[in-house]
A and B are shown apart, each in its own frame.
Chain A
């Protein structure tokens, strides 16, 4: 498959201002030299704990945030420095669905207005009859009743609102959709409905997804590839199955072992990490994970490991050759 989006050494820093003169006193290093790519029709799952930079990465990738450095390519074209009309026409191809279906929909707009807005902005349709046809089509796609058009967001449940958010993103027929925690605000029984909807839509339109979530069970279910983030770095990435069944980075191993599973009376070896995630304003030297790592050696404190293929000593299957880890002592 052809690659839809790729970023190379993407960095996003946020300045922090303070003091009497309101000068820049510190930098929050949200995303640090991240390189990744997603092929057409595939899903990359991006996991990590809060504050690890996964949402910032997602937003930088579609130019909702200006990257500090690095390059972003959409279908081979460098889009890092596009502006004006060219950036606007690019936005048609790159859409996003947000976590909170309560705050991401304008409460003063009807569903019709919400769905028509992107079509008008991008001048896809201008005639009323075309707009009407398209909005109805969108409602059917996401499984909402047609009478929803004239209602306001507050009249819908959380799951239905998320469907509206998905319909809005679909309106302009994008190629890539960033799904930023699309199901974490939903109840379990509704979560499954939305996941199924997203999988259906992907199959139907060949959509490419970046699926950002902290729920590892959901990510495994929807993703072809998975990348694990910690303090702005991707510490491990690879095909979903290989990464979940054969995690190499101690952080990935700890994350996976920390998930409470709905199967009582099973003795699972659990890795409990000590301490909290350090601040991205003052990240630790060397490997970002070394202060919490059960395997840390003196080397980890001094040098930063780079993301590379796992050493050949560890047996892999053919599909695992893309499995990469940023650790001096993997396995």
Chain B
């Protein structure tokens, strides 16, 4: 049995705004084992990014982590000091973001920014060693002519190359957990394929666990061992990737899968399945099941929060009337 790297238990992250207080992440629990890839999928505003920022303890005011536990490698991250957290963040637990241009500092060279990680987390290295290791990591993430790129600024690189620099920064300290928040959303499809291939390649070489946040079910199917589907701040379905794609049990998951046009199938110009209504904003989330207003299977008791039911093989679903096939 692989060791569990991260356990998130009943996490609630709340935002206090003029309109009142709202739980952007509401009672979310999951685990990630060593070497495992967990995909968190959902549409905009479902709380997937807030979940990842909570794990990194990067939630800023007016948001705060209200309750729950985040246990990383045996340490409860919500109980340690900021100084201790800084030793973990960027070192054993790292993150890459969607937009590499805004995540990189435009006034420092790429080499400089990667070296900064060594300066902070491995201060014993000499400047020469630092440079050597940086060039080595640039090579590892597939940057051509790394010696030259070392001296270049982010604006001189293409989007795909920038994302490779971000990945390099995230893996220099051999992290136990890498959180990737929409790592390829800003990239073109052929560049996306390159970056996904790189991530797969890197994972083969290490025991690094990963949380991959995305709205693209195709990427989940391709990359992840298990999936958490989020809607309205809650995980509504959770389980092994194969099972969720083969037998989705929550009406929302099924709806999402059915609304993607599939390649080479069916007559073109036919009507696509669609989920009625639109994704409600934080302030419009209904009581009880967050999905019931858009749900075809909804009945009266859906206005009470459905419990997380576990079916066979660890497939969990939060629905009173799950799909059974």
Contacts and interface: CB of A to CB of B under 8 A. Distances in A.
B1 interface: no
Contacts of B220: 262
Nearest to B193: A258
Contacts of A16: none
B194 A189 contact: no
A43 B269 CA distance: 10
B263 A157 contact: no
Interface residues of B, number: 45
Contacts of A254: 190
Nearest to A50: B188
A187 B279 contact: yes
Contact of B272 (A216, A221, A241, A262): A221
A51 B297 CA distance: 44
Given A264-B242, A276-B158, A221 B188 contact: no
A233 B279 CA distance: 38
B43 A196 contact: no
Contact of A222 (B192, B263, B269): B269
B260 interface: yes
Contact of A264 (B193, B194, B222): B222
Contacts of A218: 261
A265 B242 CA distance: 8
Contacts of A276: 158, 160-161, 191
Central interface residue in A241, A264, A273, by most chain B CB within 10 Å: A264
Contacts of A196: 271-272, 274
Given A221-B261, A262-B217, A262-B221, A192 B189 contact: no
B219 A260 contact: yes
A34 to B, nearest CB: 20
B148 interface: no
Nearest to A245: B264
A160 B269 contact: no
Interface in B40-82: 43-44
B268 A220 contact: yes
Interface string A240-266: 110011000000001111111111110
Contacts of A43: 269
A266 to B, nearest CB: 8
A90 interface: no
Given A157-B279, A159-B278, A260 B269 contact: no
A255 B190 contact: yes
B272 A192 contact: yes
Contact of A217 (B160, B263, B270): B263
B221 A261 contact: yes
Contact of A261 (B192, B197, B218, B278): B218
A135 interface: no
Interface stretch (B27-35, B101-109, B251-259): B251-259
Contacts, number: 132
A260 B216 contact: yes
The range of chain A's interface size is 35 or more
Q: Is the interface of A mostly helix, strand, loop or mixed?
A: helix
Contacts of B275: 189, 192
Contacts of A320: none
B222 A273 contact: no
A192 B245 contact: no
B41 to A, nearest CB: 9
Interface in B116-141: none
Contacts of A192: 259-261, 272-275
A230 to B, nearest CB: 10
A144 to B, nearest CB: 12
A159 B219 CA distance: 23
Nearest to B257: A262
Interface string A178-213: 000000000111111101100100000000000000
Contacts of B257: 262
A270 B264 CA distance: 16
B268 A223 contact: yes
Contact of B193 (A190, A217, A241, A270): A270
A235 B220 CA distance: 31
B180 to A, nearest CB: 14
A157 B221 contact: no
Contacts of B268: 220-224, 240-241
Contacts of B222: 260-261, 264
Nearest to A265: B242
Interface in A142-186: 157-160
B245 A264 contact: yes
A199 B158 contact: no
Given A220-B263, A260-B222, A49 B190 contact: yes
A244 B274 contact: no
Contacts of B44: 187
B133 to A, nearest CB: 26
A188 B221 contact: no
Nearest to B294: A189
6 contacts: A50-B188, A189-B256, A220-B263, A254-B190, A255-B190, A261-B221
Interface of B: 43-44, 158, 160-161, 188-194, 196-197, 215-222, 241-242, 245, 255-257, 259-264, 268-276, 278-279
Given A43-B269, A222-B269, A224-B269, 12 more contacts: A187-B44, A188-B217, A192-B273, A199-B269, A217-B260, A220-B261, A220-B263, A221-B268, A221-B272, A257-B193, A272-B194, A276-B160
The 4 closest A-B CB pairs, nearest first, are A260-B218, A221-B261, A192-B274, A192-B259
